[in-house]
Amino acid sequence: MISYIRGPLEEKREDSVVVEAGNIGYRIFIPSSVLGELPGLGEEVKIYTYFSVREDGMSLFGFLSRQDLEMFRQLIGVNGVGPKSALGILSALKPDVLRLAVISSDAKAISKAPGIGAKTAQRIILDLKDKIKAEDVLFAGADLEESPKTDLSGMAEAGKEAVEALTALGYSASEAQTAVKKVAITEGMTSEDVLKGALKHLAFL
């Protein structure tokens, strides 16, 4: 119903913001993890929104990118995960970290979110694993100029295997993701090549 709201940022709270649009102030619930990314009060902001209608009321949930909104939509599609629970997960884990936790089956990381037990974390992984691509995580934010000859799926697979190897070595999902994303993965690189490069970065973290 409401795709996004753009206007001056009027208020910042721990769990929400107020954005003015058309002389109306909209209260939008947001993950606490994005509070630091918001502009100053009075500055223009664009927030992509999900309009939730329930028996106990109507609420707007917002995110700074379409990709993060899509992650929220995927979460609330999991049985037993409502909008507030999904927001809590995305407050505890940034979307990219959550995506990595899903593709690396890191239920422990997901269960750190408030109100999310081990069973729910496993259900999230089972439901979302096929919906999240490794390249969406490994190349998030990268300015890739793709050509028909660039095998992104192969590059992503090497990166994914390196992440899994790092988590098996005892690194957290976020540490593994950060290290692998610092490696300039190119065609022809094996997971071992990526792993070696990531370990070099981890040595300086």
What is the average pLDDT value for the chain, to the nearest integer? 83
Top pLDDT among 103 and 85 is at 85
Residue 185's H or E segment, with its range, is none
For residues 7 and 19, give the distance between their C-alpha atoms in angstroms, rounded to a whole number: 6
**Domain 142-205: CATH architecture, name and number where available:** Orthogonal Bundle (1.10)
Q: Quote the pLDDT of residue 185.
A: 79
Q: Give residues with Cβ within 8 angstroms of 170, minimum separation 6.
A: none
pLDDT in tens, 129-141: 888 765 555 555 4
Residue where the block lists tokens 């769990």: 15
Fold of 4-65: OB fold (Dihydrolipoamide Acetyltransferase, E2P) (2.40.50)
pTM exceeds 0.85, yes or no? no
For residues 108 and 79, give the distance between their C-alpha atoms in angstroms, rounded to a whole number: 19
- In the chain, domain spans: 4-65, 142-205
For residues 8 and 21, give the distance between their C-alpha atoms in angstroms, rounded to a whole number: 8
Residue type, 110: I
For residues 24 and 37, give the distance between their C-alpha atoms in angstroms, rounded to a whole number: 23
Top pLDDT among 97 and 16 is at 16
Mean pLDDT of 118-127: 94
Tokens of 132: 């999240």
pLDDT in tens, 145-173: 444 443 445 557 788 788 888 877 778 77
